[in-house]
Chain A
Amino acid sequence: MNKPALLDRHRQRLFDAPATAADPIGIYIHIPFCSHICPYCDFNTYAGKESLIPSYLDALQCETAFWARDFGGRRAQSIFIGGGTPSLLNPKQIRGLLDTCRAEFSMEKGAEVTIESNPNDVSLRYCVGLLEAGVNRISIGAQTLDRPGLRVLGRLHESDTVSSAVSAARDAGFANVSLDLIYGWPGQSIATWHNDLGQIMGGAIGGSIPDHLSLYGLIIEPGTPMADAVTRGILSPVDEDTSADFAELAASLLAAAGWIHYEIANWCAAPRNASVHNALYWRNGDYAGIGAGAHGHAGQLRTMNQPSPARYTKVVSSGESPRTNFEIIDANTDKVETMLLGLRLIQDGVSLDRFQSRHGISLEAHFGTQIAHLRDQGLLECDEHSVRLTVRGAMVANTVCAEFL
């Protein structure tokens, strides 16, 4: 963060990139179920398989124990229940998962516990249940407040649903509420986007301003129904310039409101609202990836699990490992990943000290040429502590990161 004074040293440590083996790990739990698949989604999720949930949860608890053993007593800083639609689970089921994590891992005090949710599911009662289970951060998938936009994105809720979800979360006592929004969907205008952001920042959604926003430029992934619609000429994607206009509008509105743009797609109202769990990914840190299709990272290993929830459940319950793929990250690739992830942390960037202690070589010695070249182009800025993207660099981060490959 550029305002370290606001953070205690303990918390700042959770934003220093890259992470090292001495840092606590994160726990990601994947819930691959949705009542309905959105047309742009290419995540590992399945509709109509909710009957698998009880046995699937049992399998998750088994796998949690495997990971705890693998990490050999390392402390955990955060839990993130993502999906899919984790809010398909009831608070009791959530509590069961969290209890297992707390039993298997020694959690840091005040560990961040996030759940992703569908606005339709977020009632006051539900939120109270989540808080009681130990969830302290809720991320609500609003996507847009524009009615035609919700239809293009295939969402089954209205902007009112988002409002009630936000007010329910607040009323229940959530002090860390995040909204996910998508921009650049086919047919979106700069005015509708301005309106989405204006309503949210004006407190018109659920009577309060959220603490955190994730703003994603829509990527039309091949193989999705939306990509098909584009191919057939039914939808036309927005062009690079429009998408850039959207991104710049968001950045300037949120900056004017005093928000912190701490990662390429993430903003927080105050440093304490930045996501500790997600930051661990950008710090190239270690995390357990639990559940069907989940990815984990432990030292040199990146793992991926069996994507089918039915098969995952079967394999785990027979005592076998659900991992189907793993990749050994060699020392050079690890340094590359430190850069392409760490630079996403716009405020903090990649720390020179941290790079040295993680990789055993100075950043200057390993990537000095590339950094100088990118700095000359105005895409990176450096000081004695860290290397960071400039505002322009953040808009073209792929071009910047490709230099380190």
Chain B
Amino acid sequence: MSDDISSNTAAIRNFSIIAHIDHGKSTLADRLLEQTETVTLREMKAQVLDSMDLEREKGITIKARAVRMVYTARDGETYQLNLIDTPGHVDFSYEVSRSLAACEGALLVVDAAQGIEAQTMANVYLALEQDLAIVAVINKIDLPNADPRKVSAEVAQLIGLLDDEIVHASAKTGHGVAKILEAVVRHIPPPQGNPYAPTRALIFDSHYDPYKGVIAYVKVVDGRIASGDRIKLMAEGKETETLEVGFFDPELHPDSALETGQVGYIATGLKVVQDVQVGDTVTRAAEPAVSPLAGYRPAKPMVFAGFFPVESDEYPMLRDALERLRLNDGGLTWEPESSDALGFGFRCGFLGLLHMEIIQERLEREYDIQLLATAPSVEYEVLLRGGSELRIDNPSEMPSPGDSEEIREPWLDVAVIVPSRYIGAVMELVTGRRGEYRELIYLDPERVQMKFDMPLAELIVDFYDQLKSRTQGYASLDYTFKDMRASDLVKLDVLVNGQPVDALSLITHRDDAYSRGRELVQNLRGLIPRQMFDVPVQASIGSRIIARETIRAMRKNVLSKCYGGDVTRKRKLLEKQKEGKARMKLVGNVEIPQEAFLAVLSLGGDKAATKP
């Protein structure tokens, strides 16, 4: 990197890519890296920026990533392009807004066959709120069913872009990639910082490195930061010396300094990740800035579940693993929890269901901890009869009906984009989930955006799957928190063999309590294996039993053939059976498998309705 580029703010472009899952964001990023020769062909692998195994497997981006590219444009100038990759899933919109804060522009990637999706729209609005310039890329024009003109028109109408701000491309074939780079240089403004003002750099992400401490991902808004500078983190007031600064290529690439407008990293040497808050401002200790940059709201967990180690002696391991995951994941919260049924574990808060699933998989894969997860719940506000208020995120903590005046639950602002022929199907699903219809907008003659208010608790129970299946996969969904509303909610308890199982309690609307209770005990009857004795499974509201099923005692479990050749095999088989038992939780004297604790997930009127 020559000095004249790195010190010339006018030659810097910071941008991110906004795209729906599968619309080709990662492939486009790969092409940009190739075209600018940032990554040699030898190093090239699919989804360069998605380094987690899970990301490659699921084809999604979870963590934000950044990379610096050098591009010589047709005007003869050499530009420094910083691409900050962002997650596409609604659970991670928090990460998106962080990344966008470090940019002056965004590439909006839209599939030329599918058109724009609800989550993409939400992220576009986030970008527009932050005054970002937008260049639209109509991608996958090589697909046989692509309709780039129609999709261009839709994008132009929704966002109000000019023709030359819309590029037709195919990230797969490489068509249009050069045009995209030109459009970035031409339409996205350079950063507007003051190189002579006291240093201010925005931390938009971080990760923990065992050797270099917390690595802060920053955009230098004003001034500069050099390696060895003494820096101050303005929110915490913490001071430290930078061990190293540099940029992303996409690996960490040390450099002497980060100049105004540049995106890169600072190795802080700090061991406590909480000292380096994402959203905080870094300044130089010698000449501190007067006021920090506008930060942003910390991510707020919306979905809560208990994580319990299957082996209780893995509790400390689970704590360490959660601690480590939290280092790089501002959306994850947890606190110790103890359950009568499941022992000691953690009540964890997540941004959404996908987030929960990813954390669970990472704990099991990367940390090799066998986990038992309870069904997800939301956070309720309970107004007690003395006037005091209580926030609970665990159904088992719900006070008895006599003690509470009012229970409030989170409601969402839900947007669904769907071909107009599915309006009825979506309407039926949403109203069946206590949703309230608000408005319907035609995006084009065949596609509509529907808006609803809906309780979050209804959305986390299998709603997305149902939405997808009822619209043959066409619907896209976005939601944001709206408000807390009082509802007629009751706590449903489950008793197995006469013993209440706290981890199976759930909170439901009174109107649904009977059908959910019945369905839950039926599901549990199928999920809890037969024991050596009859096991009644009951659902109750307070002391009133509302449903009951009986799991009949096991009748036959024997290998009928066992001769000389079968001894080792039989012993191994029994050992395996025993291992399977060890994965279950002993509640009273009944062995309950993991799946049973998620039985509540498959509840809901929809499923019952599809039964013959």
Partners in one complex: yes
Query: Chain A: residues with CB nearer than 8 A to chain B?
Result: 26, 28, 215-217, 219, 240-241, 243-244, 247, 264-265, 278, 281-282, 287, 289, 293-297, 302, 304, 327, 333, 336-337, 340-341, 344, 377, 379, 394-399, 401-402, 405
Q: Does B574 sit at the interface, judged by CB under 8 A?
A: yes
Given A395-B555, A396-B558, answer yes or no on A340-B570 (Cβ-Cβ < 8 Å): yes
Given A219-B560, A281-B564, answer yes or no on A241-B555 (Cβ-Cβ < 8 Å): yes
Once the chains bind, are A281 and B563 in contact (CB under 8 Å)?
yes
12 contacts between A and B (CB under 8 A): A26-B564, A219-B560, A244-B555, A281-B562, A281-B563, A282-B562, A295-B564, A302-B567, A337-B571, A396-B556, A399-B532, A405-B578
B567 smallest CB distance to A (angstroms): 6
Once the chains bind, are A240 and B555 in contact (CB under 8 Å)?
yes
Q: Which A residue's beta carbon lies closest to that of B532?
A: A377
Query: Which of B555, B562, B578 contacts A402 (CB under 8 A)?
Result: B578
Summed over the interface, the residue pairs from A and B with CB atoms below 8 Å come to a total of 95
B261 smallest CB distance to A (angstroms): 61
Once the chains bind, are B571 and A340 in contact (CB under 8 Å)?
yes
Once the chains bind, are A397 and B557 in contact (CB under 8 Å)?
yes
Once the chains bind, are A396 and B557 in contact (CB under 8 Å)?
yes
A372 smallest CB distance to B (angstroms): 15
Compute how far the CA of A26 lies from the CA of B573 in the bound complex, rounded to whole angstroms: 25
A76 smallest CB distance to B (angstroms): 14
B579 smallest CB distance to A (angstroms): 10
Once the chains bind, are B560 and A217 in contact (CB under 8 Å)?
yes
Once the chains bind, are A294 and B565 in contact (CB under 8 Å)?
yes
A334 smallest CB distance to B (angstroms): 11
Q: Which A residue's beta carbon lies closest to that of B556?
A: A244
Query: Which of A282, A341, A405 contacts B575 (CB under 8 A)?
Result: A405
Given A340-B574, A405-B574, answer yes or no on A302-B568 (Cβ-Cβ < 8 Å): yes
Once the chains bind, are A219 and B559 in contact (CB under 8 Å)?
yes
Shortest 8 CB-CB distances between A and B: which pairs? A244-B555, A244-B556, A295-B565, A397-B558, A217-B560, A265-B560, A216-B560, A398-B557
Q: Does B530 sit at the interface, judged by CB under 8 A?
A: yes
Q: Does B159 sit at the interface, judged by CB under 8 A?
A: no
Once the chains bind, are A297 and B567 in contact (CB under 8 Å)?
yes
Once the chains bind, are B558 and A219 in contact (CB under 8 Å)?
no
Once the chains bind, are A297 and B561 in contact (CB under 8 Å)?
no
Q: Does B577 sit at the interface, judged by CB under 8 A?
A: yes
Once the chains bind, are A395 and B563 in contact (CB under 8 Å)?
no
Compute how far the CA of A337 lies from the CA of B559 in the bound complex, rounded to whole angstroms: 15
B143 smallest CB distance to A (angstroms): 35
Once the chains bind, are B556 and A243 in contact (CB under 8 Å)?
yes
B5 smallest CB distance to A (angstroms): 62
Q: Does B581 sit at the interface, judged by CB under 8 A?
A: yes
Q: Does B554 sit at the interface, judged by CB under 8 A?
A: yes
Once the chains bind, are A28 and B556 in contact (CB under 8 Å)?
no
Q: Which A residue's beta carbon lies closest to that of B531?
A: A399
In the complex, chain A residues whose CB is within 8 Å of the CB of B530: 240
Compute how far the CA of A294 lies from the CA of B563 in the bound complex, rounded to whole angstroms: 11
Compute how far the CA of A395 lies from the CA of B532 in the bound complex, rounded to whole angstroms: 11
Given A244-B555, A396-B554, answer yes or no on A402-B577 (Cβ-Cβ < 8 Å): yes
Once the chains bind, are B565 and A395 in contact (CB under 8 Å)?
no
Given A240-B555, A340-B570, A395-B558, answer yes or no on A289-B532 (Cβ-Cβ < 8 Å): no
Once the chains bind, are B571 and A402 in contact (CB under 8 Å)?
no
Query: Which of A289, A294, A337, A394 contacts B558 (CB under 8 A)?
Result: A394
B296 smallest CB distance to A (angstroms): 52
Contact with A along B537-556 (1 / 0, CB 8 A): 00000000000000010111
Once the chains bind, are A337 and B556 in contact (CB under 8 Å)?
no
Once the chains bind, are A396 and B561 in contact (CB under 8 Å)?
no
In the complex, chain A residues whose CB is within 8 Å of the CB of B557: 240, 395-399
In the complex, chain A residues whose CB is within 8 Å of the CB of B573: 398
In the complex, chain A residues whose CB is within 8 Å of the CB of B558: 217, 264, 394-398
Q: Which parts of B505-556 form the interface with A (CB within 8 Å)?
A: 530, 532, 552, 554-556
B541 smallest CB distance to A (angstroms): 33
In the complex, chain A residues whose CB is within 8 Å of the CB of B575: 405
Once the chains bind, are A265 and B574 in contact (CB under 8 Å)?
no
Compute how far the CA of A399 lies from the CA of B581 in the bound complex, rounded to whole angstroms: 10
B528 smallest CB distance to A (angstroms): 14
Given A240-B530, A297-B567, A396-B554, answer yes or no on A402-B574 (Cβ-Cβ < 8 Å): yes
In the complex, chain B residues whose CB is within 8 Å of the CB of A395: 555-558
In the complex, chain B residues whose CB is within 8 Å of the CB of A340: 570-571, 574
In the complex, chain B residues whose CB is within 8 Å of the CB of A379: 532
A80 smallest CB distance to B (angstroms): 8
Compute how far the CA of A296 lies from the CA of B564 in the bound complex, rounded to whole angstroms: 7
In the complex, chain B residues whose CB is within 8 Å of the CB of A296: 564
Contact with A along B569-606 (1 / 0, CB 8 A): 01101110110010000000000000000000000000
Once the chains bind, are B559 and A398 in contact (CB under 8 Å)?
yes
Compute how far the CA of A295 lies from the CA of B554 in the bound complex, rounded to whole angstroms: 33
Compute how far the CA of A394 lies from the CA of B567 in the bound complex, rounded to whole angstroms: 18
